[in-house]
Structure 1
Amino acid sequence: MSLRAVHKRYLREFIPAMSAYVMLILLYGVLMPRTESLPLRVLLAVLPLLPIMLVIRAIVRVIRDQDELERRIDLEAIAIAAMATGFGYFSFGFLLNAGIGLKVAPAAVAIWVMPCLFGTFGLAKLLVARRYRSHE
């Protein structure tokens, strides 16, 4: 199965941006504990956000340029992922407030929201696409 031009462009945009993100997040992990200067700490914290903005741009562009069925599948998957991720974090917050014994730093929780959203989107897309294929 050959990729359409819109999906080739997506991969050309997504792979370098995600590779840059991985490199910057590794750099963040190594340098942040060793950095005392607040401006440098802020710079280290913000740098990984730049390639994520490019990833988001690639996702929006591929959705915009897909055919109607692909767009519908992606938008349904995004809705499912947003609700599932939001519900999961909402529930986790209530459980933490109930004192379930976990000691989790708020920053550790917050930093995982977007990766969880992206991962949930991938799973939801597989399920939604499978449902549409079974109706063909």
Structure 2
Amino acid sequence: MQANAKRYMLHFGGSMLAYMVVLFGSVAWLNGHETGPLVRGLVALLPVIPGLVALWAVMVFYRSLDEFKQRLIAEAMIIAALLTGFGSFAYGFLEGALDLPAIPTIWIFPVMIGLWGLVGCFQKYVVYR
């Protein structure tokens, strides 16, 4: 494994571990304490901090790649963003017409990241073979 990939795995993996610890800690704290909205909002946002570190790790890794790999990743992200946007757009119409339940916005980012991975796999093994 290349040095930049090892560094990425260390930084990204560490930030995801920190994210899980902070997430569970903040949820437990919020469930066990009654405070004002400002404190609750700040505690609820604490998991965003290790999430930002993960985004930083992704960008550092992306910049360490050659131009072809950067293009693959960028195209996959664009396609994933478009599919996520169009899917939420279409579901919005169905939600109103068929009285479907609203999907919480917290699911938008995980869906986009999941689609990014799927599109990346599809590209690597089908489009650029």
| TM-score bracket for this pair, using the shorter chain length | 0.7 to 0.9
Structure 1 contact 81–117 (Cα < 8 Å) conserved: yes
Q: Which runs of 5+ in 2 are unaligned?
A: none
Q: Could you list the per-position Cα deviations for residues 36-82 of structure 1 after superposition, in whole angstroms to 9, with x for gaps in the alignment? A: 21233112211011111111111111111101221111111111111
Residue 133 of structure 1: CA displacement? 4.9
In the alignment, does 2:87 pair up with 1:88? yes
In the TM superposition, 1:57-136 aligns within 5 A as 57-102=56-101, 104=102, 109-131=104-126, 133-134=128-129
Which deviates the most, 18-27 or 45-54? 18-27
What does the per-residue CA deviation read over 1:17-42, in whole Å, with 9 as the maximum and x for residues that have no partner? Answer: 11111222222333323332123311
How many equivalent residue pairs?
128
For the 8 Å contact 1:76–1:128, the answer to whether it is kept is: no
Identity of aligned residues (%): 31
Question: 2:39 is matched by which residue type in structure 1?
Answer: L
Q: CA RMSD in A?
A: 1.8
Q: Does 1:8 align with 2:3?
A: no
TM-score (norm 2): 0.87
TM-score normalized by the length of structure 1: 0.83
C-alpha deviation, 1:86, in angstroms: 1.2
Letter of the 2:115 counterpart: T
- Whether the 8 Å CA contact 2:27–2:44 is kept in 1: the answer is no
Structure 1 outlier segments of 4+, above 6 Å: none
Gaps of 5+ in 1: none
Give SS of 1:40's match.
helix
Give secondary structure in 2 for the equivalent of 1:36: coil
